[in-house]
């Protein structure tokens, strides 16, 4: 029970600090919108007519924006921990490193999911995806969008599961930010690949029935979450 | 009652042996001052004793518990004041103390925070962000944070550095208060005068090794300073 309460306080701390400064929130929002605009200008103003091509474009934009916004968020989040030895202060309280890991995953997930909730409709509108969705998808538009947010959230969970442990490793090394990007991107490649495939499937058929990629996305995210939860103690305590 | 017992602690960074067989013990109600020049290994020793860094070899127990094998179990017995605040400077002292107090599981936390802020004379600044504080105010905040969970063993790394005369006197007073309450305390410093007034036993840390000097009752300040300077010249 004490461990559960500690996780809650750590999550509240992360979110409170992120919302106190607001710089990360503004940075990742502006960054994501910029990615959407760049793709819109690069592929527009006349986008591909084929709904599948349009869905592929939307999936590329969303997963590119959220992957790099995630890296920025992780960097900023661990910068706050590194600054003035705050993470050592937390370690001294005797918090289980696995609980610290879980709290970071959840707080980053909450933060990025909020971003996805705001940016996804904007991206779909800018890329005019909603205009060309097949009739079967148009009929269940809200449900499809919710499923899309769900897929993005599962992908983000996988991203955070990997990203937090890599950030933890990079905390105690030199070249922190570059190490995070260099090590993290190959590790989250399966998440991005599976997430993008699921997103295309949702925007073209409105469902994931028989979709192999959703299994990959869920299994990869959960396996990494469980193993990193168990291994984080060695990352932080050495 | 022995609060800390360290035996043959060594720490090697690459090819440099920073600590070389350190033996140390601290009793309840005892303040041990460790004098050493810059680079002597004082900070490394405090980091090891606070369980934040693992020694290369050696053993130490805190309150009878093997601190190397069970760092999480012993941390709630420790109050650490280091060079860095170990806190979130965007937050106020109140917010920091509340957050860390909750993680430690402190009972009657609001009262504890109010008492501590009054003790370190930060009540008027309780809701100001720590990042705007002067060095002296930050040091007082760090001491309050180290005491939030009423630890039995305090580890102060250079607690007087960068402080003006009034702030040094304030820290001295706090150390004496905690000693009177039966806490054990290790402080590192290169200032023999302040260390003499703060501590009840003195050690030198030179070339990675501890050299016992004397109990306070056995030595005058002038003799302590003379011995320290003599050892530094060797």
Q: What is the mean pLDDT of chain A?
A: 89
Instruction: Render the burial of A149-172: b for 16+ CB within 10 Å, e for the rest.
Output: bebbbbbbbbbbbbbbbbbbbbbe
Q: Tell the residue number behind the tokens 């103390």, with chain if given.
A: B97
What is the phi/psi pair of residue B6, to 5°? -115, 140
How far does A167 lie from chain B, in Å, by closest CA?
18
Helix then strand then coil, in percent of chain A rounded to 5, is 85, 0, 15
Query: What is the distance between the alpha carbons of residues B95 and B115, in angstroms, rounded to a whole number?
Result: 15
Which residues in chain A are closer than 8 Å to B71, comparing Cβ atoms?
Answer: 237
User: Residue A177's pLDDT is what?
Assistant: 67
Q: Find the mean pLDDT for residues A57-62.
A: 92
Q: Which candidate from B52, B88, B99 shows the least CB-CB separation from A91? A: B52
Q: Which candidate from B54, B80, B89 shows the least CB-CB separation from A84? A: B89
Q: Which two tokens stand for residue B39?
A: 């680079």
User: Which of the four pLDDT bands, split at 50, 70 and 90, describes residue A172?
Assistant: low
Q: Which candidate from A9, A20, A84 shows the least CB-CB separation from B103? A: A9
Q: Which two tokens stand for residue A93?
A: 């309280």
SS3 B12: strand
A22 Rama class: left (phi>0) / alpha (psi -120 to 50) / beta: left
pLDDT per residue over A127-157, tens digit each? 888 888 778 778 888 888 899 999 999 999 9
User: Residue B93's pLDDT is what?
Assistant: 97
Q: Find the mean pLDDT for residues A45-73.
A: 88
Domains of chain B, each with CATH number or no CATH: 2-84+151-233 (3.40.50.300)
Model confidence at A2: pLDDT above 90 = no
User: Residue B183's pLDDT is what?
Assistant: 93
Query: What is the distance between the alpha carbons of residues A209 and A237, in angstroms, rounded to a whole number?
Result: 43
Using the beta-carbon criterion (under 8 Å), do B72 and A96 form an inter-chain contact? yes
Using the beta-carbon criterion (under 8 Å), do B88 and A90 form an inter-chain contact? no
pLDDT per residue over A204-236, tens digit each? 887 887 778 999 999 999 999 999 999 999 888
User: Residue A174's pLDDT is what?
Assistant: 64
Instruction: Establish if B90 touches chain A: CB-CB under 8 angstroms.
Output: yes
Q: Which of B46, B88, B91, B149 is the best residue to mutate to test the A interface, defined by the most A CB atoms within 10 Å of its own CB? A: B88
What part of A 81-100 touches B (C-beta under 8 Å)? 83-86, 88-96
User: Residue A175's pLDDT is what?
Assistant: 61
Q: Which of A84, A98, A232, A233 is the best residue to mutate to test the B interface, defined by the most B CB atoms within 10 Å of its own CB? A: A84
* Percent of chain A residues topping a pLDDT of 90: 57
User: Residue B198's pLDDT is what?
Assistant: 92
Distances (CA, A) of B216 to A52, A143, B3, B184, B198: 83, 77, 20, 15, 10
Q: Which two tokens stand for residue B84?
A: 């860095």
pLDDT tens per residue across all 234 residues of chain B: 889 999 999 999 888 899 999 999 999 999 999 999 988 899 999 999 999 999 999 999 999 999 999 999 999 999 999 999 999 999 999 999 999 999 999 999 999 999 999 999 999 999 999 999 998 899 999 999 999 999 999 999 999 988 888 888 989 999 999 999 999 999 999 899 999 999 999 999 998 899 988 888 888 999 999 999 988 887
Q: Which domain holds residue A102?
A: 2-237
Q: Which candidate from A88, A90, A238 shows the least CB-CB separation from B103? A: A90
Query: What is the Cα B190 distance to its own chain's centre?
Result: 14
User: Residue A6's pLDDT is what?
Assistant: 94
Q: Which of A94, A172, A174, A236 is the best residue to mutate to test the B interface, defined by the most B CB atoms within 10 Å of its own CB? A: A94
- When divided into structural domains, chain A yields a total of 1
Which residues in chain B are closer than 8 Å to A96, comparing Cβ atoms?
Answer: 72
Q: Which candidate from A17, A95, A237 shows the least CB-CB separation from B88? A: A17
Which of A48-57, A73-82, B34-43, B172-181 shows the lowest per-residue confidence on average (mean pLDDT)?
A: A48-57
How far does B201 lie from chain A, in Å, by closest CA?
26
User: Residue A176's pLDDT is what?
Assistant: 62
User: Residue A42's pLDDT is what?
Assistant: 87
What part of A 3-62 touches B (C-beta under 8 Å)? 5-6, 9-10, 13, 17, 20-21
The ipTM assigned to this model is: 0.93
Which residues in chain A are closer than 8 Å to B90, comparing Cβ atoms?
Answer: 17, 20-21, 80
The HSE-up count of residue B170 (CA atoms within 13 Å, CB side) is 19
Query: What is the Cα B106 distance to its own chain's centre?
Result: 21
User: Residue A195's pLDDT is what?
Assistant: 93
Minimum CA–CA partner of B88 in chain A:
A86
Model confidence at A3: pLDDT above 90 = no
């Amino acid at each position: 029970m004490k461990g559960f309460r500690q996780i809650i306080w750590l999550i509240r701390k992360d979110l409170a600090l992120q919302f106190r400064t607001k710089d990360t929130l503004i940075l990742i929002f502006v960054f994501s919108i910029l990615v959407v605009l760049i793709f819109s200008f690069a592929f527009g103003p006349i986008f591909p007519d084929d709904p599948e091509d349009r869905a592929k474009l939307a999936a590329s934009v969303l997963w590119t924006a959220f992957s790099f916004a995630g890296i920025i968020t992780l960097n900023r989040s661990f910068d706050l921990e590194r600054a003035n030895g705050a993470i050592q202060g937390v370690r001294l309280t005797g918090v289980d490193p696995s609980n610290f890991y879980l709290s970071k995953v959840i707080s980053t997930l909450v933060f990025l999911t909020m971003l996805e909730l705001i940016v996804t409709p904007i991206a779909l509108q800018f890329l005019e995806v909603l205009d060309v969705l097949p009739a079967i998808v148009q009929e269940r538009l809200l449900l499809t969008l919710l499923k899309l947010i769900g897929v993005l959230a599962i992908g983000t969970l996988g991203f955070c599961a990997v990203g937090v442990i890599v950030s933890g490793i990079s905390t105690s090394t030199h070249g922190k930010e570059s190490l995070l990007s260099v090590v993290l991107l190959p590790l989250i490649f399966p998440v991005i690949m599976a997430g993008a495939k699921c997103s295309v499937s949702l925007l073209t058929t409105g469902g994931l029935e028989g979709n192999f990629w959703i299994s990959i996305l869920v299994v990869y995210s959960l396996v990494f979450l469980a193993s990193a939860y168990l291994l984080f103690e060695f990352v932080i305590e050495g | 009652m022995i609060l800390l017992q360290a035996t043959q602690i060594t720490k090697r960074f690459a090819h440099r042996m920073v600590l070389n067989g350190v033996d140390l013990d601290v009793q309840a109600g005892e303040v041990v001052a460790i004098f050493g020049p810059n680079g002597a290994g004082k900070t490394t020793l405090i980091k090891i004793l606070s369980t934040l860094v693992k020694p290369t070899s050696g053993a130490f127990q805190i309150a009878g518990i093997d601190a190397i094998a069970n760092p999480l179990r012993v941390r709630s017995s420790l109050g650490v004041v280091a060079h860095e605040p170990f806190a979130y400077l965007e937050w106020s002292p109140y917010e920091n103390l509340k957050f860390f107090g909750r993680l430690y599981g402190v009972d009657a936390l609001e009262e504890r925070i109010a008492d501590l802020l009054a003790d370190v004379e930060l009540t008027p600044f309780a809701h100001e962000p720590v990042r705007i504080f002067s060095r002296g105010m930050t040091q007082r905040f760090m001491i309050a944070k180290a005491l939030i969970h009423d630890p039995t063993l305090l580890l102060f790394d250079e607690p007087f550095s960068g402080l003006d005369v009034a702030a040094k006197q304030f820290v001295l007073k706090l150390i004496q208060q905690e000693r009177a309450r039966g806490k054990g305390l290790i402080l590192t410093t290169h200032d023999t005068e302040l260390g003499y007034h703060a501590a009840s036993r003195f050690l030198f840390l030179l070339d990675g090794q501890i050299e016992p000097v004397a109990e306070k009752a056995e030595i005058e300040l002038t003799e302590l300073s003379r011995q320290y300077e003599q050892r530094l010249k060797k």
